[in-house]
Amino acid sequence: MPTLHEMLLPVFDEVVKRNPGEIEFHQAVREVLESLGPVVAKHPEYADTQIIRSLCEPERQIIFRVPWVDDSGQVQLNRGFRVEFNSALGPYKGGLRFHPSVYLGIVKFLGFEQTFKNALTGMPIGGGKGGADFDPKGRSDAEVMRFCQSFMTELYRHIGEYTDVPAGDIGVGGREIGYLFGQYKRITNRYESGVLTGKGTGWGGSQVRTEATGYGTVFFVEEIFKTTGESLEDKRVVVSGSGNVAIYAAEKVIERGGTVVAMSDSSGYVTEDNGVDLDLLKDIKLNRRARIRDYATDRGASAHFVEGGSIWDVPCDVALPCATQNELTAADAATLIRNGCAVVAEGANMPATPEAMHAFHEAGVRFAPGKAANAGGVATSALEMQQNASRDSRAPDMAAAVKSPARG
């Protein structure tokens, strides 16, 4: 495993001490500090300044109560978060995650990573992240709406098109952004569409924002293949997850001639040797909001559902972890390497554990870190903000450009 440069050890120790128990945040910070080793070796003056320490301390952290009424009339309580991490380059920018695992440590790791990812896009956006420990699974539209309205009733005072611009992440898509925007508009009496991104295209959203994260990850893989004169044609690809990132990564892989042989959700994974039927998967996940097991039931003999287990056991040339943090462990990496996997690109945020990443580097597997490989989503969000700021919609040209198979 890579070690920390000794000049950065005190920075890391301080982060661990000041943020007790927030293991995902510690992990994200450590990865960045490890990668900064060669920089401080060459420029020791950076380690001596407050710059690196400041990067590890959020500018503002907001935690709030979110009470809402479920369909049976019971009051439910959740905890909401917004961590405004860094505004050096622009308004705080980053998604909202609704998932029962959300706590401050998760939101901070995501906000920290977002700061670097956003900087890498070259767009004027700072880093932030938010969310709640709300579980949307099995909730009716009306319950999700009431939750979003209550969440925004507190959040609205902290955000704004020049202040902090949330978007989606796990558990937050177009439906949730719609409910949130409606409540923001109602409370503030402002049609400030640039306050949220990932909106519907009829009310300020950008074309291709929905597809951008997944498509971008695949474009990144194509660029990797181009360096050795290869392409995605005839490659067997495993895509973990079946949310927004996974679905559109799979769509672009298929369009480029690859075969998506497996996809998953938190209950297990499905394999289909001749390639998944993405229309069916989209119907199950986007319309029916059901479980991936239904995919295998509907497809019959050609598909196989594996409950639990690791999707990385499925042999492939390319692995696209698009589900969640730490979903690809050292053991999974060993299996992928043994099966001849050549490229791994992170569609999700921090899906590979540090041990897995290390194993890929050692084995010469080409590895694309999420801060670069999944930055297409937030970069498109920044374009959405620009369109909203100019009260314009230039999106159709962009849609044509990314959808065309002959992208140059």
The correct pick among 8, 102, 296, 378 for binding ligand GLU (CB under 6 A) is 378
Q: Is residue 126 a contact point for ligand GLU (CB under 6 A)?
A: no
Q: Which is nearer to ligand GLU, 317 or 384 (CB)?
A: 384
The correct pick among 153, 193, 207, 381 for binding ligand GLU (CB under 6 A) is 381
Q: Is residue 204 a contact point for ligand GLU (CB under 6 A)?
A: no
Residue 268 beta carbon to ligand GLU: minimum distance, rounded to whole angstroms:
25
4's tokens: 């920390």
313's tokens: 């056991």
Q: Which is nearer to ligand GLU, 160 or 268 (CB)?
A: 160
Helix then strand then coil, % of the chain, to nearest 5: 50, 20, 35
49's tokens: 């300044």
Q: Is residue 94 a contact point for ligand GLU (CB under 6 A)?
A: yes
The correct pick among 193, 197, 244, 325 for binding ligand GLU (CB under 6 A) is 197
Strand partners, 303: 272
Q: Is residue 115 a contact point for ligand GLU (CB under 6 A)?
A: no
The correct pick among 242, 335, 349, 388 for binding ligand GLU (CB under 6 A) is 349
Residue 167 beta carbon to ligand GLU: minimum distance, rounded to whole angstroms:
3
**Cα dihedral sign, 133-95-205-244:** negative
- Footprint of ligand GLU on 156-175 (CB under 6 A): 167, 169
Q: Are 66 and 183 in contact (CB under 8 A)?
A: no
**Which region, left, alpha or beta, applies to residue 122 given φ > 0 means left and ψ of -120 to 50 means alpha?**
left
Q: Which is nearer to ligand GLU, 311 or 378 (CB)?
A: 378
Residue 15 beta carbon to ligand GLU: minimum distance, rounded to whole angstroms:
21
Q: Which is nearer to ligand GLU, 27 or 76 (CB)?
A: 27
Out of 117, 129, 252, 371, pick the active-site residue: 129
In angstroms, the CA 221 to CA 368 distance is: 8
199 counts as catalytic: no
Q: Is residue 377 a contact point for ligand GLU (CB under 6 A)?
A: yes
SS3 225: helix
The correct pick among 5, 82, 93, 108 for binding ligand GLU (CB under 6 A) is 93
Nearest Cα neighbor of 129 from 155, 150, 153 is 155
Site size for ligand GLU (CB under 6 A): 11
Please state, in angstroms and as integers, the Cα–Cα distance from residue 78 to each residue in 98, 116, 128, following that order.
10, 29, 20
User: What residues contact 193, with CB distance under 8 A and at least 6 apart?
Assistant: 161, 181, 199, 203, 204, 388
Q: Are 97 and 171 in contact (CB under 8 A)?
A: yes
In angstroms, the CA 247 to CA 213 distance is: 10
Residue 349 beta carbon to ligand GLU: minimum distance, rounded to whole angstroms:
5
Q: Is residue 216 a contact point for ligand GLU (CB under 6 A)?
A: no
User: What residues contact 305, with CB distance under 8 A and at least 6 apart?
Assistant: 268, 269, 270, 292, 293, 295, 296, 297
Residue 82 beta carbon to ligand GLU: minimum distance, rounded to whole angstroms:
12
What residues are annotated to the active site? 129
Kindly list the residues in this chain that would bind ligand GLU in the complex (CB under 6 A): 93-95, 117, 167, 169, 197, 349, 377-378, 381
